[in-house]
Amino acid sequence: MTPKFFIIDDHRDYRSLLAHHLTTNWPDAEITSYDPVASGRLPDSFSGAGCDLVLLGDPAGQGNALEWLRQFCSSPQFPPVIFFGNGDEQQIVEAIKAGAENYISKPGLDHNQLIEIVGQALDVRRKEFTSGQQFVIEGQSGQPVLPSLKGYKLQRCLSSGSISTVYLTEEQVTGEKRALKIMHRLHDSDEIALDRFLQEFELVGKIQHENVVRIYDLGVADDHAYIAMEYCSRGSLKRRILAGVEPAGATRFMQQIADALGSIHATGILHRDLKPTNVMFRQDDSLAVIDFGLAKQVHLHAELTGTGQIFGTPYYMSPEQGHGEQVDIRSDIYSLGVIYFEMLTGKKPYDGDTAMAVIVQHQSAPIPRLPPEVAQFQSVIDRMMAKRPADRFPTVADLLDWVPAA
């Protein structure tokens, strides 16, 4: 399971410190940082959807974070909240009474204690996903089983989001491991989400490429739509980046991703959510592009996603996608350029305390410079990450013609 953390604290350095502790233990973790001073109070409608754990620091927005905590814990099915305060005994009692999963004193922050407490909270979250509150039920043995999905034996949860959850399963007939992506229980209001989910299978099913994930099955059972795909056991590109990627390896990975995108684009598909966690490695260490939940046929009408609606991950969004404008092949090339820069440097080209801050930088900030040891790739980065789509490579074939030898 790839944990998703949401960090709220007035101080950027403290948010960065917590993120460092978390990624040390969970390299694939997805972390969102929120600055309450700059962005203000989260709305009452904030449900924590898509998060596994919220880390809430006091003060929040230069006010009492206990008020935020009470708001969060009054929301049904809100994820566990760990409260970070001044260590005052009365505050500890109030935080626990308000519903905090646990309390950590800021002055006495200890890495081992933090990891232990966060691990326990994640266990609570996992149990929620396997207790029948979502879409997994318990069999007679008390072990979680998939809801009437014959032929698959559940092993563990790999990741979870607001729309779907991915499980590692075993196909009972063949004994092969499969990643089973299951959409949360369907309601009448979920038609758009279901269309997008089923579209993922229909689009990827057209593609036969060694660097695109293989899809094996699609079905609907007990109001749950599901997709069975190959299981990539050696983790994501994000983990490789955290460990450090040599320039030759970065270029090789970029070329493989680009080649996969070329096959995807040739079918009339845009990925629209290209990021390191959507690039996985198989047991034989071959690379596979995954997760087309946001993919869209180039000529598909806008009603499926909604005009002006932003999808994707801000760190890797093209300027036009971040502002809800029309996107094409060159938007995926921009996202690949961001990933290539991160592989070469170990850093994202743009960072910020809020999603909008990052989106604005993608549109207006200068393209960052590579360090001298990899400066020979700057011309490629400049073309891939050009602000105007017209200034980018028009296709991945053109991109690959430009790539210098690593």
pLDDT in tens, 238-265: 888 888 899 999 999 999 999 999 999 9
Which stretch, 17-26, 132-141, 314-323, 369-378, has highest mean pLDDT?
Answer: 369-378
CB atoms within 10 A of CB 395: 17
pLDDT score for 190: 56
Q: 66: number of CA atoms within 13 Å, CB side?
A: 13
pTM given for the model = 0.65
* Lowest-confidence segment of 183-192, 195-204, 275-284, 285-294 by average pLDDT: 183-192
Contact 183, 228 (CB under 8 A): no
- For the chain, what percent of residues have pLDDT higher than 70? 81
pLDDT at position 131, please?
40
Nearest 10 degrees: CA dihedral of 20, 289, 50, 294? 140
CATH of segment(s) 4-129: 3.40.50.2300
Statement: 137-230 belongs to CATH 3.30.200.20: yes
pLDDT of residue 192: 62
Predicted confidence at residue 147, as pLDDT, reads 53
pLDDT digits (tens, 9 = 90+) for 337-346: 999 999 999 9
Mean pLDDT lowest among 13-22, 74-83, 278-287: 74-83
Residues 6+ apart with CB under 8 A from 235: 28, 280, 281
Instruction: Give percent of the chain with pLDDT exceeding 90.
Output: 39
- Fold identical between 4-129 and 237-402? no
**Rounded CA gap, 222 and 303, in Å?**
27
What homologous superfamily does CATH list for 237-402?
Transferase(Phosphotransferase) domain 1 (1.10.510.10)
Q: Model confidence at 53, in pLDDT bands (50, 70, 90)?
A: very high
Residue 304 has pLDDT above 60, yes or no: no
In the residue annotation, 273 being an active-site residue is answered as yes
Give the start-to-end residue ranges of the domains of the chain.
4-129, 137-230, 237-402
Active-site pick, 273, 328, 351, 391: 273
What secondary structure, in 3-state letters, does the chain show? CCCEEEEECCCHHHHHHHHHHHHHHCCCCEEEEECHHHHCCCCCCCCCCCCCEEEEECCECCECHHHHHHHHHCCCCCCCEEEEECCCHHHHHHHHHHCCCEEEECCCCCHHHHHHHHHHHHHHHHHHHCCCCCCCEECCCCCEECCCCCCEEEEEEEEECCCEEEEEEEECCCCCEEEEEEECCCCHHHHHHHHHHHHHHHHHCCCCCCCECCEEEEEEECCEEEEEEECCCCCEHHHHHHHCCCHHHHHHHHHHHHHHHHHHHHCCEECCCCCHHHEEECCCCCEEECCCCCCEECCCCHHHCCCCCCCCCHHHCCHHHHCCCCCCHHHHHHHHHHHHHHHHHCCCCCCCCCHHHHHHHHHHCCCCCCCHHHHHHHHHHHHHCCCCHHHCCCCHHHHHHHCCCC
